[in-house]
Structure 1
Amino acid sequence: MAARPASRPKPKPQRTWVRWTLTWATRFVLGFVVLSVLWVLVLRFVPPPITVTMLGDVPTGHGVTKTWRSLSTIDPDMPRAVIAGEDSRFCAHNGFDYVAIANAARRNATGGRIRGGSTISQQTAKNVFLWQGGGYFRKGLEAWFTMLIEAMWGKRRIMEVYLNVAETGIGTYGVEAGARRYFKHGADRLSSREAAQIAAVLPLPKKRAGIAPTGFTGRYARTIDRRIGVVRRERLDGCLS
């Protein structure tokens, strides 16, 4: 009589659960990578239709006012103004300005008003693909999308998208909508002073006035206006040509 083959030992429940978890975690990560790369690729050519920040304004009753304008039709002093006010090394870094991050960390360690070291690239990634607010998880996603847009979009496209999705007032997005709200004309006709005033609003667009700013916002706008000339002379916006 033939001997019965030895039966295989049943896998332990714990090992089965770990294997199942690793399998689905791997699939999730790979799926996220593929979808995020495709998402970034599409927006390389197509204007972002809506953002999470914009959706947040809908329930408040303010609505969303925005008009897309290509970078070539925006007055050159506008990108110079945001470089002067937000990210003077925009054309030199790879999406992360480690010098600015280190300087911000030193200033924050001394107390007082907290300052960030985010670049225009990081702000664009956050504004287009993510939500406002902090947290390590959101910061990690921001870093991932920053690397993607730097690799797939390039500086000119990053600046173009930033100038069209950045909040320039309550329910107002992009420099075209901001220019029409504050100065009653398009972003193609901005003076350096007007561009500086819009740039001065960007850090706190729901609290700062873009027209006839006073106090800190007024002083900041005057500082940016002076720095626009530096950006122009030193070709700090050379990557946008």
Structure 2
Amino acid sequence: MLRKIVIAAILSGLVLAAIPLILVPVYTIQPVHPVSTLILRDHFTFRPYLRDWVDLEEIAPVMRYSVIMSEDGQFCRHDGVDWVEMKAVVDQFLDGEETRGASTIPMQTAKNLFLWNGRSYVRKAIELPLALYLNLVVSKDRILEIYLNIAEWDEGIYGIEAASQHYFGQSASSLTERQAALLTVTLPNPAGRNPAAPTRRMNALADRVQRLARASGDYVGCVKTEA
């Protein structure tokens, strides 16, 4: 009996590991529009949700730059994992300090595509190889495009186009600097932040994001510049 359980567990693990190995190359194909595990949850539990896929060129450049500079400043330079930031987090953990997030855009994209939400060292350990594999197989442009189209901005609101329409009544291609900054600072806490009615704290964070986006320069050199 125990042997059967172990074999079943191993086979289940192999099947789960094979899913991203197979799907990631498929996601390099431009007409393919990947969905997140949260979108799948909403779909199969009949919860209402909105997601309108838009190509990267249809997203205002300032939105792309704001997200990169706020969420992953070394996006164009790392291999999927920011090892300097990761080492700092590990050092903090070993010292018994409260750790900060060190998730890159590839890591967040891998989590959204294949894993679950919530703080978990197990999930973080799985994220690392997935992010490395995603970054190896998929271009930076495509990773950013997928991320911006599956990120959650409110309950049932997925992707930058749905978020732009939901909060500002306009397309992602028409976002202003301020709107892009406010949408960006909503990402870490979509349930508790409203970019259409920002708090003083959100406005302060958005000020910083705007400054970073304006000074992005070579930090965003790996992504398309045309709108």
Shorter-chain TM-score bucket reads 0.7 to 0.9
Counterparts of 2:115 and 2:153 in 1: how far apart (Å)? 18
What amino acid maps onto 1:47 in structure 2? H
Cα distance, 1:32–1:59 mapped onto 2, change above 3 Å = closer
- In structure 1, the partner of 2:222 is 239
- In structure 1, the partner of 2:48 is 63
Match of 2:135 among 150, 153, 176: 150
Cα distance, 1:31–1:182 mapped onto 2, change above 3 Å = closer
The aligned runs of 1:168-187 (5 Å cut-off) are 168-187=153-172
- In structure 1, the partner of 2:25 is 41
1:190-212, Cα deviation, whole Å (9 max, x unpaired) = 11111111101000001101113
- In structure 1, the partner of 2:189 is 204
Cα distance, 1:196–1:130 mapped onto 2, change above 3 Å = same
Give aligned-pair identity as a percent.
Answer: 33
Q: Does 1:125 align with 2:110?
A: yes
What amino acid maps onto 2:78 in structure 1? H
Give the TM-score taking structure 2 as reference length.
0.85
What amino acid maps onto 1:240 in structure 2? V
In terms of mean alpha carbon deviation, does 31-40 or 177-186 score higher? 31-40
Match of 1:96 among 78, 81, 86: 81
Cα distance, 1:39–1:227 mapped onto 2, change above 3 Å = same
Counterparts of 1:142 and 1:210 in 2: how far apart (Å)? 28
Counterparts of 1:196 and 1:169 in 2: how far apart (Å)? 16
CA RMSD of aligned residues (A): 3.0
- In structure 1, the partner of 2:206 is 221
For structure 1, the 5+ residue unaligned runs are 1-13
- Residues 71 and 104 in structure 2, CA contact (< 8 A), matched pair in contact too: yes
What amino acid maps onto 1:129 in structure 2? F
Counterparts of 1:194 and 1:175 in 2: how far apart (Å)? 11
- Residues 76 and 140 in structure 2, CA contact (< 8 A), matched pair in contact too: yes
Aligned residues: 221
Counterparts of 1:158 and 1:43 in 2: how far apart (Å)? 9
Say which SS state the counterpart of residue 192 (structure 2) adopts.
coil
**Which structure would you say has the larger RCO, counting Cα contacts within 8 Å and 6 or more residues apart?**
2
Cα distance, 1:60–1:211 mapped onto 2, change above 3 Å = farther
- Residues 62 and 170 in structure 1, CA contact (< 8 A), matched pair in contact too: no
- In structure 1, the partner of 2:58 is 73
- Deviation, 1:139, is 2.1
- Deviation, 1:144, is 2.5
- Deviation, 1:64, is 1.1
Say which SS state the counterpart of residue 222 (structure 2) adopts.
helix
1:84-127, Cα deviation, whole Å (9 max, x unpaired) = 21111000111111222234456776867x52011011000001
What amino acid maps onto 1:67 in structure 2? D
Cα distance, 1:204–1:121 mapped onto 2, change above 3 Å = same
Say which SS state the counterpart of residue 225 (structure 1) adopts.
helix
